[in-house]
């Protein structure tokens, strides 16, 4: 299964991708997680990405495409993957197309998740992530057992810098301007399936299961 998840920030792409990893035994490729790992390790790429991410802007296409080319050369991508947060612009989608042609692969499906802005702001303002293992919680909808401590590894929970209200609004605008046009791009390839992201995590998961039937 070679799948793309498209949707506004906070719609639940990462949450659902992790469930799909368990079901299909293929990797989740999250460009956001890859960039955050570079920031944690203070690499040159991380230093460059940080300024864009903290402002809610997109990291330049060439940087993202280089990162994806490297990731696709790894053995675990041969049988399939869940692309979470990539592509995010038309040039990235065209770059992905070229790469797939070169390695003789085809996408199976592009899932588009939707939710209203009020729900997105509520979810993102109450999201907490683990500094150590990257596990994601929500103080309102899926809280950790003990505040500030990860249930899985005991690591410290923190709020992402780009989950502050002003940055969330900017990310939503960036999504509408730069990422939403991808829906038409993939519609032309007949790959789009739409999923309502407004229910509980398991209701949304069920919607995805049906969309993939
Ligand atoms: P990225 O990390 O990709 O962020 P995003 O797309 O903005 O998405 P999020 O991770 O915020 O949300 P999500 O949809 O995964 O929601 P989640 O499952 O966590 O990108 C961050 C930045 O990196 C970008 O702004 C950009 O600067 C840069 N970047 C990344 N990729 C790039 C690219 N390709 N090109 C250029 N720049 C790039 O859920 C959110 C919260 O809600 C969680 O707390 C979760 O527990 C909760 N939740 C999930 N589902 C439900 C539900 N159904 N009900 C209730 N709560 C729920």
Contacts of 166 (CB under 8 A, 6+ apart): none
166-185 tens-digit pLDDT:
899 999 999 999 999 999 99
Pairing of strands 2-6, 28-30: unpaired
pLDDT of the residue at 165: 87
Q: How far is the CA of 146 from the centre of ligand 1 (A)?
A: 23
pLDDT of the residue at 4: 98
pLDDT of the residue at 166: 87
Mean pLDDT of the chain: 96
Q: How far is the CA of 28 from the centre of ligand 1 (A)?
A: 13
Give the DSSP H/E element, type plus range, for residue 44.
helix 44-54
Dihedral sign from CA coordinates of 159, 164, 169, 175: negative
pLDDT of the residue at 26: 97
The C-alpha R_g of the chain, in whole angstroms, comes to 17
Scan for tokens 């864009």, then name that residue: 52
Pocket flag, ligand 1, residue 172 (CB < 6 Å): no
The pTM (predicted TM-score) of the whole model is 0.96
- Which residue's CA is minimally distant from atom 5 of ligand 1? 9
Yes or no: say if 196 and 189 are a contact pair by the CB < 8 Å rule. no
38-78 tens-digit pLDDT:
999 999 999 999 999 999 999 999 999 999 999 999 999 98
Q: How far is the CA of 165 from the centre of ligand 1 (A)?
A: 14
Pairing of strands 136-138, 127-130: antiparallel
Mean pLDDT, rounded, for 143-151: 93
What are the structural domains, with CATH classification, of the chain? Answer: 2-115+177-211 (3.40.50.300)
- Asked whether residue 208 carries a pLDDT value surpassing 90, the answer given is yes
Mean pLDDT, rounded, for 150-163: 95
Pocket flag, ligand 1, residue 59 (CB < 6 Å): yes
Pocket flag, ligand 1, residue 138 (CB < 6 Å): yes
- Sheet with 81-84, strands from edge to edge, namely 28-30, 81-84, 2-6, 109-114, 192-196
94-125 tens-digit pLDDT:
999 999 999 999 999 999 999 999 999 999 99
Tell me how far apart the 2 most distant CA atoms of the chain are, in Å. Answer: 48
Q: Which two tokens stand for residue 53?
A: 């991410």
pLDDT of the residue at 196: 98
Binning pLDDT at 50, 70 and 90, where does residue 147 land? confident
Pocket flag, ligand 1, residue 201 (CB < 6 Å): yes
């Amino acid at each position: 299964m070679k799948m793309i998840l498209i949707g506004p920030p906070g719609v639940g792409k990462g949450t659902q991708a992790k469930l799909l990893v368990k079901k299909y035994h293929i990797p989740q490729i999250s460009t956001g997680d890859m960039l955050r790992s570079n920031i944690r390790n203070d690499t040159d790429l991380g230093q460059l990405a940080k300024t864009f991410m903290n402002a809610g802007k997109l990291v330049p296409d060439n940087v993202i495409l280089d990162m994806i080319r490297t990731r696709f050369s790894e053995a675990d991508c041969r049988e399939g993957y869940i692309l979470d947060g990539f592509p995010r612009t038309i040039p990235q989608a065209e770059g992905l197309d070229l790469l797939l042609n070169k390695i003789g692969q085809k996408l199976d499906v592009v899932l588009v998740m939707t939710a209203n802005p009020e729900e997105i702001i509520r979810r993102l303002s109450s999201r907490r992530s683990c500094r150590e293992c990257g596990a994601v919680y929500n103080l309102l909808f899926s809280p950790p057992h003990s505040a500030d401590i990860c249930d899985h590894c005991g690591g410290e929970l923190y709020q992402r810098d780009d989950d502050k209200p002003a940055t969330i609004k900017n990310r939503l605008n960036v999504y509408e301007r730069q990422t939403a046009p991808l829906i038409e791009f993939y519609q032309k390839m007949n790959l789009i399936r739409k999923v309502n992201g407004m229910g509980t995590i398991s209701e949304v998961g069920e919607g995805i299961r049906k969309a993939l039937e």
